[in-house]
Amino acid sequence: MQALESKISTAGRVLGSDILKVDSFLNHQIDPELMWAMGQDFAQHFAQAGITKVLTVESSGIAPAVMTGLALNVPVVFARKSKSRILAEEAYLADVYSYTKESQQTIRVDQRFLSKNDRLLLIDDFLANGQALLGLKSLADQAGATIVGTGIVIEKSFQPGRQAAAKAGLNNIYSLARIAAFENGQVVFDQTAAE
Ligand code: G4P
């Protein structure tokens, strides 16, 4: 997606060899216009898939997921990372290891919000190692829901996330920007883009 690639080039900052900081427009301060355009792009791509719900994980997945849900006119569910005192006991749980944060977290969704009749679109901000996606897939599987596709804002295609997801059966992954490498502090986009 051209507008996203331009924003990454002008406002993103490369940290070390493998991290892109996008907190000025994606995951701390948010550019609503760009976020809405991304939601519309995801919605258009998956328009024929019969999606009943969008599923993401807090916190950075929520903004693109809400825009996508708005464009598709379907509800959005986000997996929580912290156990709420008022969250019902009946929750689907999955353990997610974050390589970036070097920690393991349990994500959870109240069983009332996912069902075997759902056709889910998974949305997340980054695809790096794929652990978040595997956790979301586990939640969907426990509910007996069908995953019809996955939308990613920024995929780092030099990391193993896509392969890990494919191995687990997540094949229909559509990324708005794919990054092939970071070279001398600059982002090199993978121009085989999209899917
Ligand atoms: P995964 O996202 O594919 O599972 O890979 P990984 O375990 O490496 O990522 C762990 C967390 O780090 C995720 O956020 C992911 O979005 C984020 N992340 C991965 N690569 C980058 C990057 O290059 N830049 C930035 N800014 N974040 C990256 P999270 O733990 O779910 O946190 P959040 O959603 O609460 O922000």
pTM score, whole prediction: 0.95
With tokens 């030099």, the residue in question is: 158
pLDDT digits (tens, 9 = 90+) for 36-59: 999 999 999 999 999 999 999 999
**Alpha carbon of 181 to those of 20, 38, 51, 64, 115: distances in Å?**
11, 22, 33, 24, 39
Looking at the predicted structure, is the pLDDT value of residue 7 above 70?
Answer: yes
Say if residues 120 and 146 touch (Cβ distance below 8 Å).
Answer: yes
Q: Is the CB of 132 under 6 A from ligand 1?
A: yes
Q: Is the CB of 102 under 6 A from ligand 1?
A: no
Name the DSSP class of 119.
Answer: E
pLDDT digits (tens, 9 = 90+) for 59-118: 999 999 999 999 999 999 999 998 766 655 799 999 999 887 889 999 999 999 999 999
Structure tokens at 51: 């999606």
Q: Is the CB of 22 under 6 A from ligand 1?
A: yes
H helices of the chain, in order, are 2-11, 32-45, 62-72, 131-143, 161-167
Index of the ligand 1 atom closest to the CA of residue 125 = 16
Q: Is the CB of 128 under 6 A from ligand 1?
A: yes
Structure tokens at 17: 């060899």
Q: Is the CB of 99 under 6 A from ligand 1?
A: yes
pLDDT digits (tens, 9 = 90+) for 13-29: 999 989 999 999 999 99
Rounded CA gap, 115 and 82, in Å? 22
Q: Which run of H or E residues covers position 16?
A: none
Predicted local distance difference test score (pLDDT) of residue 194? 47
Structure tokens at 145: 């829901």
H helices of 12-160, in order, are 32-45, 62-72, 131-143
**Percent above pLDDT 70 for the chain:** 95
Cα(126) to centroid(ligand 1), Å = 6
